[in-house]
Amino acid sequence: MLARDRGMRGIVLKNHYTSTAGMAYLVRRQVPGIEVFGGLALNLTIGGINPAAVEHMTRVSGGWGRIVWMPTFDAEHQVRFSQEDRPFVSVARDGVLLPEVQAVIALIAQHGLVLATGHSSPEEALLLLREARRQGVEQMVVTHAVFQPVLMDVAGMQEAARLGAFLEFAGGTLLGADAEDRVRRFATAIRAVGPEAVILSSDLGQEGNPLPPDGFSALLDLLRGQGFSDQELDLMSTQNPARLLGLP
């Protein structure tokens, strides 16, 4: 209700450990007047790279499960980046996507879903985007492209954009002392790839952080302070996300 009452057209519900397609259906029934979508992150709790889980999501009432994130917290790249000793989910081996990943991409193409690259390495993300384009996936996004552990460089982001993907810039919490410096880095990268290839998101909802509408509003204000016009901000915050989700 808060997002709707603040004038947001829609939101995406993301959970790293379970599908949010059913939740999106229930929220739409309880809170009319806002577009609510869900998705599935292919972490260990749902079996990792699990085509059956993706297929099941497409059958949830309403069809509001739209996004398939490749592994996030359990991604091999995330675990290695964090220097953790625990199981992980791989998407590629020796520079080649695993067969089950190719199968998931085929389902994404078949059902008109969105492929998000999750916490894959920049190299893995580009492998995913190339295969997705080959298989006919129309909507793709590089998950928070410049955040850890992804840290995609400008050349990689430009290639991703050429492949037809959006680059996600997620504000997160902007309460820390590094917020303005982080947004300046965002601004430099956004100008390098062009606002037409960018979507902005809050990546909020965690305990102790600002509420998503508040954090998102703060991100827009800080980018406005970096010289982005209202037209550019509208493109990145409303028009491009609407295209990604298939909204007219």
**Quick one: residue 83, left, alpha or beta (phi over 0 = left, psi -120 to 50 = alpha)?**
left
pLDDT for 178 equals 79
Q: Which of 42, 22, 67, 48 is nearest to 201 (CA)?
A: 67
- CA angle 37/39/41 to nearest 5° reads 155
Pairwise pLDDT comparison (211 vs 12), residue with the higher score: 12
Say if residues 127 and 78 touch (Cβ distance below 8 Å): no
pLDDT (mean) for 21-43? 97
Q: CA 215, CA 221: separation in Å to the nearest integer?
A: 10
pLDDT at 159 over 80: yes
Counting residues of the chain whose pLDDT is more than 70, the rounded percentage is 99
pLDDT for 181 equals 85
Burial 148-159 (b: 16+ CB within 10 A, else e): ebbebeeebbbb
Dihedral of CA atoms 142, 242, 184, 212 in degrees, nearest 10, equals: -100
pLDDT at 179 over 90: no
pLDDT (mean) for 60-69? 97
pLDDT at 137 over 80: yes
pLDDT for 73 equals 97
pLDDT at 172 over 90: no
Question: Mean pLDDT of all residues in the chain?
Answer: 95
**Quick one: residue 246, left, alpha or beta (phi over 0 = left, psi -120 to 50 = alpha)?**
left
Weakest mean pLDDT among 19-23, 137-141, 187-191, 217-221: 217-221
Q: CA 57, CA 159: separation in Å to the nearest integer?
A: 30
pLDDT digits (tens, 9 = 90+) for 144-158: 999 999 999 999 999
pLDDT for 26 equals 97
pLDDT at 98 over 80: yes
pLDDT at 175 over 90: no
87 prior amide bond cis, ω within 30: no
Q: 165: Cβ–Cβ under 8 A, 6 or more apart, which residues?
A: 117, 129, 140, 141, 142, 197
pLDDT for 225 equals 94
Say if residues 111 and 142 touch (Cβ distance below 8 Å): no
- Overall residue count recorded for the chain in this entry: 248
Spell out the alpha helix ranges (H) of the chain.
Answer: 2-5, 21-30, 51-58, 76-81, 99-111, 122-135, 154-162, 179-193, 212-225, 230-234, 240-244
